[in-house]
């Protein structure tokens, strides 16, 4: 069965510090992974997808098939990065399985 695990419910860092949000997955097929973000009182929106290998708002994520991970990193966290982050796995062509989420709190 497919699974997405985000081991940290809450992550607190100071502004300017590096941040890493962890995501591990379990899937027998070829994985397609995403990071979604939900800022306070806003709708859930796409942040990163593994296929793009792009940097969005300073965040980058690498798919590591050997470790079955899709962690995302930012070298210098900003206060506006405070949000809820969800890792998601697309499976059965059209369905998405979401992790339980990590709340990032960037302190001034």
Residues of this chain that bind other proteins (CB under 8 A): 6, 9, 32, 34, 42-46, 49, 51-52, 86, 94-101
**Are 64 and 77 in contact, with CB atoms under 8 Å apart?**
no
Quote the least distance from Cβ 101 to other proteins, whole Å.
5
Which residue is it, tokens 């419910």? Answer: 9
Quote the least distance from Cβ 86 to other proteins, whole Å.
6
CB of 15 or CB of 50, closer to other proteins: 50
Phi, psi of 81, rounded to the nearest 5 degrees: -80, -10
d(CA 10, CA 24) in angstroms, rounded, equals 16
CB of 77 or CB of 89, closer to other proteins: 89
């Amino acid at each position: 069965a497919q699974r997405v695990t985000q081991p940290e419910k809450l992550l607190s860092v100071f502004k300017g510090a590096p941040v890493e949000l962890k995501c591990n997955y379990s899937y027998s097929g070829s994985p397609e992974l995403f990071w979604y973000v939900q800022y306070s009182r806003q709708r859930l929106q796409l942040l990163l997808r593994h296929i793009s290998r792009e940097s969005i708002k300073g965040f980058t994520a690498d798919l590591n098939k050997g470790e079955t991970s899709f962690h995302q990193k930012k070298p210098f966290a900003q206060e506006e990065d405070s949000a809820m982050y969800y890792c998601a796995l697309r499976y059965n062509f059209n369905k998405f399985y979401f992790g339980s989420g990590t709340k990032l709190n960037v302190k001034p």
